[in-house]
Amino acid sequence: MKTSVITLSNITKSYFLGETTIEILHGISLKIYPGEFAAITGPSGSGKSTLLHIIGLLDVATSGTYLLHDKDVTKLKEDRQADIRNHEIGFVFQSFNLLQRASVLENVTLPAVYAGTPTTIREDRAKELLEKVGLSDHIYKRPNQLSGGQQQRVAIARALMNDPSIILADEPTGNLDSKSGKDVMEILRGLNKQGKTVVIITHDPALANQARKVVTIRDGLIAKT
C-alpha cells in the first residue's frame, strides 16, 4: 500500500465575522497519493479555493488534522508553514499573481530568493524552467507585456522553482482562452507524468474528466470521490 502524501481528516474552516461565525468547510476527509492527478470540482462558493488554500498551507483549518508526507502540519507556527510551503508546494492561481514591477525572470526566481539559493544558481534554473514552458525570448519583459497564457506559464515556472513534489492549481485556465488553457493543461499533465502530484480546481467538467481522481465539493462537504 502506498501511503498518501496529503491526508486530510475532518477538516473544518470557519470565518469569524464580528458576532457571527460562518462555517465554510464542514468536515472534509481526503487522501491524495504520490503521483496522483486529482481534480476538485463543484459549484462556485462551495469551498474549493478555501480547501486548496488549506492544502497549500496558505490558510489554516479551524479544526481537523492535515498530514503532509506523514507529518502533522496542522499546528505548525506560521514561519515553519511558510518554509514547508516554499519547498514542498507550488501554487498556481487563476489570476497568475505575478509581480508586475518585476521581470519575468525575477518573478520565477522569487521562491529561490526566499529559500536562500545563490543568485547564479537560481537564475540558471529559472532560465531553464522558462525554456521548458516556451518563454526563453521573454525573460526580461514585464508580466503585463505578455498574454494571459504566457503569464500563466511564467506562474507555472515560478511554482517549479524550488522543485516541489506537489503542484496545486486553482482554476489555472479560468482566465484563459481555450487554446492557452489547453497548453497550460498540457504542461500540468506533463509535470504529473514526470512524477509530480497535481491537484487542480476546475468547474469545467471536460477538464475534470481528464483527471484520474475527481473530488466534488458541495456546500463545504465532499459529494462524491
Q: Which residues bind ligand ADP (CB under 6 A)?
A: 15, 24, 42, 44-50
Residue 205 CB-density burial (10 A; 0-12 exposed, 13-18 middle, 19+ buried): exposed
Select from Mg ion, ligand ADP, none the partner in contact with residue 205, using the beta carbon and a kind-dependent cut-off of 5 to 8 Å: none
Q: Which does 162 bind (CB under 5 to 8 A by kind): Mg ion, ligand ADP, none?
A: none
User: Would you say 57 or 161 has its CB closer to ligand ADP?
Assistant: 57
Q: How far is the CB of 125 from ligand ADP (least distance, A)?
A: 32
Phi, psi (deg, nearest 5) at residue 27: 120, 75
* Cα→Cα distances 21→13, 49, 55, 215, Å: 10, 19, 22, 26
Residue 50 contact among Mg ion, ligand ADP, none, beta carbon within 5 to 8 Å by kind: ligand ADP
45 binds, among Mg ion, ligand ADP, none (CB under 5 to 8 A by kind): ligand ADP
Longest dimension (CA), the chain: 53
| CA–CA dist 207, 201 (Å, integer) | 9
Binding site for Mg ion (CB under 5 A): 49
Q: What's the min distance (Å) between Cβ of 92 and ligand ADP?
A: 14
Strand spans (E) along 115-192: 166-170
Question: Smaller CB distance to ligand ADP: residue 52 or 167?
Answer: 52
Helix %, strand %, coil % of the chain (to 5): 35, 30, 35
| Residue 174: CB minimum distance to Mg ion, A | 9
Which three three-digit cell numbers place residue 53?
A: 488554500
Q: Nearest approach, Cβ of 50 to ligand ADP (angstroms)?
A: 3
Which residue number, 38 or 146, has a Cβ lying nearer to Mg ion? 38
Pairing of strands 37-41, 213-218: parallel
Please name the helix (run of DSSP H) or strand (run of DSSP E) that holds residue 29, with its range, or none: strand 20-32
Nearer to ligand ADP, 30 or 129 (CB): 30
Please choose which of ligand ADP, Mg ion, none residue 47 contacts, taking the beta carbon within 5 to 8 angstroms, the exact cut-off set by kind: ligand ADP
- Min dist CB 199 to Mg ion, Å, is 13
